[in-house]
């Protein structure tokens, strides 16, 4: 099984998928713009060969270089789990006549407006929306969609350049901030709780399912620096309100023609109890969500995804043992982290349910919280009881404080 895996080094979690591929018996051929000499040991020991390209986002150039590199050799799979490269992977599959999802199918998971049109055509509830390629088109779309609304890139990921606009004045401010974004989706803001629906699929059918709740909604967490965003996986998927999202997600997979691999969907539960589609990608969720899912069931989804992608089999148990919460911390101030307060007490109180503590240490430059959800590090806990997992997560959000200067 010869597998071409795009960008095996970045983002960092791609290194775990590279490991997974090697562990299920694949010969892994990495393609990326990380210099060969700087491949991390975790990647170097799991790839059979590596093609360094100047710019991994230059699709035509990568296709030409990879085609020349593999001339005379067979390829069985072309894979990626990084959102910006899913179209490139599909183009390579079509060019080399390799099994997997087509460019058209993948575009339905990448283009947010096309995505909603295809989901709506299946009779599912989606937010009102319109595509806009200029400020004037965005203003016209806002008139049709109505306020409050959300403006986001057509091909974005991770809530980057995503803004809530409650008034025309706020829209004008956002249009100025996003002037460099070539194409946006202007869509209805849906009131209510926000969840994920995550799967590993074989032939479009989920063999593993996960739901996690965002606390607060991502668009709100990105609006205020003082917020410590919390995401908690849900142990009990049989709850009626959760089942609404699961049922919606399964129909979305059918509507978009999912094949093999990960999906990451976001959906809303309105105050009236209606499940509303948000968006979906044919790749895993980022920001350590797969780690949370692994802790939820004591499994290794990096490896199980690889087994599905290569052999069409999922062999891990699907029992959900815990609710797993991750808490992202943002240091107050600018410059380098100077101190952390409340951490020792929180660790003592939550022992033995703490599974990760990855906060930046004093002396480390703090990160730009607008550019990464990981912010200045994270804490992770798990517990079989939802309320206890939530209590520990919010204690970390409020009682652990980081400072920078």
Report the side by side order of strands in the sheet with 149-153: 129-132, 184-188, 149-153, 163-165
CATH number at residue 181: 3.30.1490.20
The answer to whether position 108 is within a domain reads: no
Can you give the pLDDT at residue 156?
63
Write the DSSP string, 339-373. Answer: EEESHHHHHHHHTTSEEEEEEPPTTSBPP-TTT-T
Q: What span, in angstroms and rounded, lies between the C-alpha atoms of 286 and 278?
A: 16
Taking a C-beta distance cutoff of 8 angstroms, is the pair 90, 97 a contact? no
Residues 94, 23 within the same domain: yes
**Burial environment of residue 180 by CB neighbours within 10 A (0 to 12, 13 to 18, 19 or more):** exposed
How many Å apart are CA 297 and CA 172, to the nearest integer?
Answer: 46
Structural domain includes residue 121:
no
Q: What's the pLDDT score for residue 223?
A: 82
Q: Is 46 in the same domain as 153?
A: no
Residue 204 DSSP symbol: T
The beta-strand segments (E) located in 178-249 are 184-188, 193-202, 205-215, 230-233
Question: What's the Rg (C-alpha) of the chain?
Answer: 21
Does any domain span residue 117?
A: no
Low-confidence ranges of the chain (pLDDT < 70): 156-160
Residue 241 lies in a domain: yes
Which ranges of 200-259 would DSSP assign to H, the alpha helix? 218-221, 240-256
Confidence at residue 372, expressed as pLDDT on a 0 to 100 scale: 86
Decide: 10 and 40 in contact? Cβ < 8 Å: no
Asked if 180 contacts 160 with a C-beta cutoff of 8 angstroms, the reply is: no
- What angle in degrees, to the nearest 10, is found between the helix axes of 240-256 and 103-110? 140
Cβ-contact 289, 198 below 8 angstroms: yes
Asked if residue 93 and residue 133 are part of one domain, the reply reads no
306 in the same domain as 200? yes
Q: Assess whether 209 and 228 both reside in one domain.
A: yes
DSSP state of 26: P
The DSSP secondary-structure symbol of 397 reads: H
pLDDT at position 180, please? 87
Number of independent structural domains in the chain: 3
H or E element, residue 176 = helix 168-177
Q: Are residues 152 and 90 in the same domain?
A: no
**β-strands 2-6, 77-79: how paired?**
parallel
Q: Are 111 and 103 in contact (CB under 8 A)?
A: no
Domain that holds residue 169: 128-188
106 within a domain of the structure (yes/no):
no
Q: What does the pLDDT look like over 344-359, one tens digit per residue? A: 999 999 999 999 999 9
Rounded distance, CA 22 to CA 372, Å? Answer: 29
Helix or strand holding residue 325 (H, E): strand 323-328
SS3 30: strand
Q: Are residues 73 and 168 in the same domain?
A: no
- Read off the tokens for 179: 């002037």
Helix H or strand E encompassing 164: strand 163-165
Is residue 161 included in any domain, yes or no? yes
Q: Would strands 275-281 and 184-188 be described as parallel, antiparallel, or unpaired?
A: unpaired
The enclosing domain of 343 has a CATH number of 3.30.470.20
| pLDDT value for 188 | 93
Domain annotation covers residue 120: no
Same structural domain, 300 and 315: yes
CATH code (residue 96): 3.40.50.20
Residues 6+ apart with CB under 8 A from 45: none
pLDDT of residue 159: 58
pTM: 0.93
Q: 91 and 210, same structural domain?
A: no
């Amino acid at each position: 099984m010869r597998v071409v895996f795009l960008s095996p080094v970045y983002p960092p979690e791609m290194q775990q998928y590279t490991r997974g591929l090697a562990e299920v018996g694949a010969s892994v051929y990495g393609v990326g713009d990380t210099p060969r000499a700087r491949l991390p040991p975790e990647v170097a020991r799991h790839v059979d060969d590596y093609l360094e390209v100047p710019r991994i986002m230059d699709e035509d150039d990568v296709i030409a270089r990879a085609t020349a590199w593999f001339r005379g050799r067979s390829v069985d799979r072309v894979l990626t789990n990084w959102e910006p490269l899913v179209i490139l992977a599909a183009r390579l599959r079509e060019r080399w006549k390799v099994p997997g999802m087509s460019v058209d199918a993948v575009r339905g998971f990448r283009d947010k407006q096309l995505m909603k049109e295809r989901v709506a055509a299946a009779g599912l509830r989606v937010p009102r929306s319109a595509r806009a390629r200029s400020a004037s088109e965005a203003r016209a779309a806002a008139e049709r969609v109505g306020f409050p609304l959300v403006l986001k890139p057509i091909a974005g990921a991770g809530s980057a350049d995503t803004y809530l606009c409650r008034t025309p004045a706020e829209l004008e401010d956002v249009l100025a901030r996003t002037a460099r974004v070539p194409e946006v989706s202007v869509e209805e803001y849906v009131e209510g709780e926000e969840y994920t629906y995550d799967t590993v699929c074989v032939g479009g059918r989920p063999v593993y399912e996960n739901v996690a709740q965002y606390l607060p909604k991502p668009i709100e967490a990105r609006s205020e620096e003082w917020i410590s965003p919390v995401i908690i996986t849900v142990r009990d998927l049989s709850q009626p309100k959760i089942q609404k999202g699961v049922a919606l997600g399964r129909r979305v997979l059918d509507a978009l023609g999912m094949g093999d691999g990960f999906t990451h969907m976001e959906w809303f539960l309105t105050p009236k109890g209606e499940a509303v589609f948000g968006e979906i990608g044919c790749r895993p969720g980022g920001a350590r969500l797969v780690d949370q899912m692994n802790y939820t069931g004591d499994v290794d989804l990096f490896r199980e995804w690889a087994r599905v992608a290569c052999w069409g089999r999922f062999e891990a148990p699907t029992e959900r043992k815990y609710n797993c919460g991750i808490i992202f911390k943002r240091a107050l101030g600018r410059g380098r982290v100077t101190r952390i307060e409340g951490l020792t007490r929180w660790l003592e109180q939550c022992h033995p349910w703490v599974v990760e503590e990855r906060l930046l240490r004093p002396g480390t430059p703090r990160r730009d919280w607008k550019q990464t959800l990981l912010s200045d590090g994270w804490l992770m806990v798990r517990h079989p009881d939802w309320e206890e997992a939530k209590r520990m997560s919010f204690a970390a959000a409020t009682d652990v404080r980081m400072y920078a200067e």
